[in-house]
A and B are shown apart, each in its own frame.
Chain A
Amino acid sequence: MTDGSRVLVALRVPVPAARAFTAFTDQIGQWWQPNGLFQFTDGRSGTLAFEPGVGGRLVETYADGSSFVVGEIRVWEPPRRLVLSWRHASFAADQETELHVRFDEVDDPGGTVPRTRVTVEHFGWDGIPPAHAARHGFPLATFQLRFAEWWRTLLRRLADASREP
């Protein structure tokens, strides 16, 4: 999957890697913000939650109690690394993308800048044709830029959530 097209977004968050990993996984329901362009199921948005560990799932649950499985966890290595598959309800059975997340503590000699670099890499949007509903007809570069901007917004929200216990 990592030979597919890549969208990378990285941001420093003001907490140690272990805290960043916990905020990313345990608290995804808090910092995740649905985006109309990138809904998992058409016209609906709900609350995300991780089932921890390899083989666990990322699930979106809706107000009516129904749910959608976004993906399955392929690598679960707290506090450093997380890999999961990622699909929308409109994907065909053989279509998927893959999300890789790294949590790298960074040198901070001054002590005034945040401590963990959270890097999100989303692979495989080139495998989803532009005409597909999830691509909205955007050329790959345009779609990926919109997608990256969305992830940047999400990581800023993650940074805020990570400061709270």
Chain B
Amino acid sequence: MFTSSVIYKDPKAALAWLEGAFGFEITMAIDGPPDAPEMCHYEMSCAGRGRIMVGAEWAEWVRVPAAVGGGNTQTVHVQLPGGLDEHCERARGAGAVIEAEPADQFYGDRTYRAIDPEGHHWTFSARVRDVTRAEAEAALGQPIMATHWQ
């Protein structure tokens, strides 16, 4: 199991924003002590599924995108059960910057990308049709190696 940890200058504000914009739920919250609030630990699920951690800049090498010129060295991809366009509108309404509008992809998903207030890029995706590997290879024009795609 992989778990991403996403860093924020203000993790408590981020939790509220992620709940409102993306519909995530807090599953664990341990506030840091008053003299070291960066030593906090938060976890969220997406409607009861999956897990991300949310943390603060607790060490020199842990930085938010804004502190490194907006670059993201990793992004989180969230697979939704459906309702991608509604999800996008909810995020937009909460202040997310939609950098890629919902669009169907050749591999059968519909996706959009959003940027949160601290500069993290998120991809949301939902399966809209089943695509065989042969179809995807034809659309892409090159072979695809995949262990779980017939």
Contacts and interface: CB of A to CB of B under 8 A. Distances in A.
Interface of A: 5-12, 106, 109-110, 113-114, 117, 126, 140-141, 144-145, 148, 152
7 contacts: A10-B27, A110-B82, A126-B33, A141-B32, A141-B33, A145-B30, A148-B30
Interface stretch (B41-49, B71-79, B116-124, B127-135): B41-49
Nearest to B30: A144
**Chain A to chain B: the 7 pairs with minimum beta-carbon distance, closest first:** A8-B29, A12-B48, A144-B30, A141-B39, A140-B33, A113-B48, A10-B27
A10 B44 CA distance: 9
A152 B41 CA distance: 14
Looking at chain A's contact residues, the main secondary structure is: mixed
Contacts of A145: 30, 41
A15 B1 CA distance: 27
B31 A5 contact: yes
Nearest to A113: B48
Interface of B: 25-34, 36, 39-41, 47-49, 81-83
A126 B37 CA distance: 13
Contacts of A9: 27-29
A106 B27 CA distance: 14
A152 B30 CA distance: 13
A7 B33 contact: no
Contacts of A5: 31, 33
